[in-house]
Amino acid sequence: MTTIQQLGTPTALIDTQRMQRNIQRMQARMTALGMSFRPHVKTTKSLPVVQEQIAAGAQGITVSTLKEAEQFFEAGVTDILYAVGMVPSKLPQALGLRQRGCDLKIVTDNAAAAREICNFGSAHGEVFEVWIEIDTDGHRSGIKPEDDSLLEVARVLQDAGMQMGGVMTHAGSSYDCDNHAALLAISELERAGAVRAAQRLREADLPCPVVSIGSTPTALTAEHLEGVTEVRAGVYVFFDLVMHNVGVCTTDDIALSVLTTVIGHQTEKGWAIVDAGWMAMSRDRGTQKQKHDFGFGQVCTEDGKVLEGYTLSGANQEHGILSHAGEPDRSIVERFPIGTRLRILPNHACATGAQHPEYQAVLPDGNTETWPRFYGW
């Protein structure tokens, strides 16, 4: 039995009670909206977390790499969407997964890649299930709902006998919102764009069983999801300071933090130096352009109470600079003596988690448990 007080620093902590609350909140919402829910596991890459999401009602998972697909398939998850555009060089690995019984769905947004998928599938006697990526908000990949190439790509797949799984979109620009009205607007843009793409396919006698949308902000905002069949979201399981600024959680919902120790001070500057630098927090400065800039993270006590105004204002590889906004705190040495242990809430849970080989899950009884995570490709 290990408690937080016995852990070395820096360490990534999961508050499992907050995590459970976040999982239940999202799943209850999806159930009420009549949606299948397919969590994006790139946030945690950790089996114990994903098992809780599935136990709560998730149907299948979303992955960002084929390594995630391999790892979760080996652990018994079979319904997997690889949500990054397929390229020829990755088809052999996708084929291998399907041949071993994984119900892997792949994604494309262009005719060139679609043709490669068809040629490779035909050559290997494999009917790939392919979803077409739709661009509903202009932030990254996908075909615009009204674009001619939507029907072209679908026909390439259909003519070669591939399985048309449906359409999927991700309104990543929802991360730029900071009020409910803006979130509602982007949620409707995401829903309507995906539904319109599906409608165009169906009107052209092309099958489109699945209409998949999602991001944490839109999933938690949409008032109805008419025409949609499933939702995907990832970071909601931990939340973070970016999501706090977007307006879909409070700091009390953030389930991931980094445990750290005070190792020094610069008294006249009001700095405490801690052993959580960017290697522990990540270089993510996602709150930099938001309404509240938290530097490299919000400082809390060891037991998780937010210390208002104290942030990691700077970070080197293994050094963090802790300071108070505004006037330097001249009593920084007395407030945070050498050896003081603190928790830091992260800007971006996906990026911070990725810096750690494992999480320490803090259980309701106060004991901690090691939850491994994996990385690489």
Q: Which stretches of the chain bind its own copies, using CB under 8 A?
A: 8-11, 42, 64-65, 84-90, 109-110, 112-113, 116, 135, 140-141, 172, 261-266, 273, 275, 278-280, 282-285, 314, 316-319, 321, 337-339, 348, 350-351, 354-358, 375-377
The rounded distance, in Å, linking the Cα atoms of 258 and 311 is 13
Q: How far is the CB of 235 from its own copies (least distance, A)?
A: 10
The rounded distance, in Å, linking the Cα atoms of 210 and 219 is 17
Beta bridge partners of 282: none
Residue type, 165: G
Dig out the tokens for 320 from the structure. 């963090």
The rounded distance, in Å, linking the Cα atoms of 67 and 156 is 28
Dig out the tokens for 281 from the structure. 């927090």
Residue number with CB closer to its own copies (9 or 51): 9
Neighbouring residues of 128: CB distance < 8 A, sequence distance ≥ 6: 94, 98, 106, 117, 121, 162, 163
Could you give the count of Cα atoms lying within 13 Å of 280 in the half-sphere of its Cβ?
Answer: 29
Residue number with CB closer to its own copies (24 or 370): 370
The rounded distance, in Å, linking the Cα atoms of 44 and 27 is 17
Q: How far is the CB of 86 from its own copies (least distance, A)?
A: 8
Concatenated DSSP letters of 156-170: HHHHTT-EEEEEEE-
Residue number with CB closer to its own copies (88 or 366): 88
What's the alpha-carbon Rg for the chain, to the nearest Å?
Answer: 22
Q: How far is the CB of 110 from its own copies (least distance, A)?
A: 6
Residue number with CB closer to its own copies (229 or 298): 298
Residue number with CB closer to its own copies (86 or 362): 86
Q: Are 219 and 202 in contact (CB under 8 A)?
A: no
Q: Are 85 and 108 in contact (CB under 8 A)?
A: yes
Q: How far is the CB of 311 from its own copies (least distance, A)?
A: 16
Residue number with CB closer to its own copies (103 or 318): 318
DSSP summary character for residue 40: B
Residue number with CB closer to its own copies (56 or 354): 354
Q: How far is the CB of 314 from its own copies (least distance, A)?
A: 8
